[in-house]
Structure 1
């Protein structure tokens, strides 16, 4: 199976990795068919864990390789390249949050259910785009021949994003079910939030192949976007029910798991 995967082009590898991350989102959303309710503490644990995974992935799979790749830059020192890309990624998500109509998962404002569904789906979908790009860029970096990029590291990144997508699917689908939306529609909304990831992964892999000099910036950009999402969405939502210590500890566990996966495999 692994040899078959190795024989594929980086674009197909990125596509399969994106389909994997989307599939775990769908698996999380499918919880609406199995249970009536997910306990708040379990949900907060999963969100904290997801935050830790994303933070670790941002450094070990994105920022660190970006700094290594920027060593050959003739214009800027490596730390400047990484810092510029990182800040632009965070700014990108900030601008999306400010100017594109959407709803945060924790927003309890009274609107029509259909509007809440759409806005919540929009928010999660927008935040999944940089995750898909990160996966695609990681596979594209391997194809470009950078020594600091490895196929195992790209796979570890996809696995880490998939792990954090599972509670994300639950977090979208279960509240909708509580509001009276049918199980099928709740599932479709939940899994649909990540359908952009395979598309973004392919775009990321193609972009790297076409314009290799932007790779350090692209990796750093994806890292900044992911960290912004963690800081603004994942961590606050994991702690809003009063389970701060649980969420903090699960974040540490998630970080450790992703760090081990990335370092051991990469």
Structure 2
């Protein structure tokens, strides 16, 4: 449990780490943002396909793994349909802080729930290092997310310190959901492989639906592609190392 709390805390606080630069400057180049997003996508694809899915298949039939992956994908799809996706970087509509900012914060918070569950379930697997690897992958994904949320809030006339605090708080839900995911695996027999495949489906949805399109939307597709491959190789190396 101690490792779970530490891993989920570091994963969640990565959102705040991403928002921290907002206290010192307001902009970041599209090129570096796209490179970071693509690198994160590579990390998450490797985590899902070389760690989560193989670990799930070692403990469950192929049908269960397929069901878990599809459930993770459908869950993220439903969340997106309930809380519409808003492109934080390209939003130009001047909507009041009360409506648009609340929508953004709600979307990011709900989006973090399955990520926390993924971390919690991973710590319940038979592979001791898996939880740390998944927490690392989720944490990397949270860094640009935290920066963009804080940047959006500042553009909505929220003070720098309040924007930093709110962005950090959106990640705190991951700690609670990680504990829930970890606890459920001890109550429901056979939940671990299903949960691991669910986490893989959720991560692959995030990569293909959000990270890759975002990283290729501003004319930096080649740099983003190389960054994606490097991220993938880095995560494969970490999986082999641990």
Q: Please, what TM-score do these two structures have when normalized by structure 2?
A: 0.92
SS in 1 for 2:171: coil
2:39 is matched with: 49
Say if 2:103 is the partner of 1:126.
no
1:176 aligns with 2:156: no
Cα-to-partner distance string for 1:159-215 (whole Å, 9 max, x where unaligned):
222222222211221233244321012212321221111111101110111113122
Q: Distance in 2 between matches of 1:119 and 1:102?
A: 9
Partner of 1:167: 144
CA distance in 1, matches of 2:22, 2:198: 34
Mapped partners of 2:216, 2:175: distance in 1: 30
Q: Secondary structure at the match of 1:195?
A: helix
The 3-state SS of whatever aligns with 1:128 is: helix
Provide the aligned length of Structure 1 versus Structure 2. Answer: 241
Matches within 5 A, 1:73-222: 78-100=61-83, 103-105=86-88, 108=91, 110=93, 111-141=95-125, 149-222=126-199
The equivalent residue for 1:15 is: 5
Kindly indicate whether the alpha-carbon contact (under 8 Å) linking 1:104 and 1:120 is maintained by their aligned counterparts in 2.
no
For 2:202, the equivalent position in structure 1 comes to 225
Q: Which runs of 5+ in 1 are unaligned?
A: 1-10, 71-77, 142-148
Preserved contact between residue 50 and residue 251 of structure 1 (Cα < 8 Å): yes
Kindly tell me: are residues 69 and 150 of structure 1, through their superposed partners in 2, closer, same or farther at Cα, counting changes over 3 Å?
A: same
| Gap change, CA 1:154 and 1:82, over 3 Å in 2 | same
Deviation at 1:89, TM superposition (A): 0.7
SS at match of 1:241: coil
Instruction: Give the match for residue 23 of structure 2.
Output: 33
Query: CA offset at residue 43 of structure 1?
Result: 0.9
Structure 2 SS opposite 1:140: coil
Greater shift in the superposed pair: 202-211 or 96-105: 96-105
Alpha-carbon distance in 1 for matches of 2:162, 2:77: 29
Alpha carbons 1:25, 1:194 under 8 Å: kept: yes
The TM-score with structure 1 as length reference comes to 0.84
CA RMSD between the two structures: 1.8
Give, in whole Å, the separation in 2 of the partners of 1:12 and 1:130: 20
CA distance in 2, matches of 1:168, 1:103: 12
Question: How far 1:229 moved relative to its partner?
Answer: 1.5
Quote the Cα distance in structure 2 between the aligned partners of 1:126 and 1:60. Answer: 26
- Deviation at 1:113? 3.0
